[in-house]
Amino acid sequence: MKKYIRVVGAVIVNEQDEILCAQRPKGKSLPLMWEFPGGKIEAGEAPRAALKRELKEEMDCSIEVGDKITTTVHEYDFGTVELTTYYAKHLAGEIQLLEHVDMKWLPRRNIDALNWAPADIPAIELIRDGSIEK
């Protein structure tokens, strides 16, 4: 059976209604694709706590986690990813790229212009269309 991987992603919105997009490194799964910062939920961990931990580890910043956007399940060749996205606010700490190769703040209406990881597409459409308030 395929690995089932529970992942959380932070949709960080700034005061200009731009969204933080992060580019994955070359040497890992989904090389150079764009994603929301975040990662795997550890055993026994609450999803929002996992998101805060991952943002500290990947970008050395602290966030406030807000409303859930959506949960989607996508089958990759390396496993099945269940991705849950949450709106979040950047609270403190200059964003560092400790795991990503690039980042962009994109206006909400333009976020579908990047080459997103396939699991992210339903969330991207909801965010772009503003179906969920931040």
Chain residues in the site for ligand 8DG (CB under 6 A)? 5, 7, 9, 28-30, 35-36, 38-40, 81, 83, 117, 119-120
Least separation in angstroms between residue 119's CB and ligand 8DG is: 4
Q: How far is the CB of 133 from ligand 8DG (least distance, A)?
A: 20
Nearer to ligand 8DG (CB atom), residue 29 or residue 70: 29
- Distance between CA atoms of residues 39 and 45, nearest Å: 12
Q: How far apart are the C-alpha atoms of 101 and 115, rounded to whole Å?
A: 14
Residue 116 DSSP class: B
Using CA atoms, how far apart are residues 16 and 3, in angstroms rounded to an integer?
39
Minimum gap (Å) between residue 92 Cβ and ligand 8DG: 21
Instruction: Let me know: does 83 contact 119? Beta carbons within 8 Å.
Output: yes
Choose between 5 and 88: whose C-beta lies nearer to ligand 8DG: 5
Cα angle: 50, vertex 54, 55; to 5 degrees? 120
Whose Cβ is closer to ligand 8DG: residue 70's or residue 89's?
Answer: 70
Query: Least separation, in Å, of the C-beta of 102 and ligand 8DG?
Result: 14
SS3 state of residue 123: helix
